[in-house]
Amino acid sequence: MSDHDIRNQELEQDDNGDSYADAFAAVVIILIAVATAVFWISQQ
């Protein structure tokens, strides 16, 4: 395996980490939005 192949593998692993981070961030944002909406409606 050449240095180029190793670098490509590392980049792919970083992309996977980013996609997990993006998915987790999206879930957190959705949960916050839902919790805010429920709280806001319950205060009405």
* pLDDT tens, position by position, 18-42: 788 899 999 999 999 999 999 999 9
pLDDT, position 43:
94
Separation in Å, CA 1 to CA 6, 9, 15, 16: 7, 11, 21, 21
pLDDT, position 14:
61
pLDDT, position 18:
79
Q: What pTM does this model have?
A: 0.58
**Residue 2 phi/psi, 5° resolution?**
-85, 170
In this prediction, residue 11 has a pLDDT band, given cuts at 50, 70 and 90, of: low
Residue 6 has pLDDT above 60, yes or no: no
Strands (DSSP E) found in 1-44: none
Where exactly are the structural domains of the chain?
Answer: 1-44
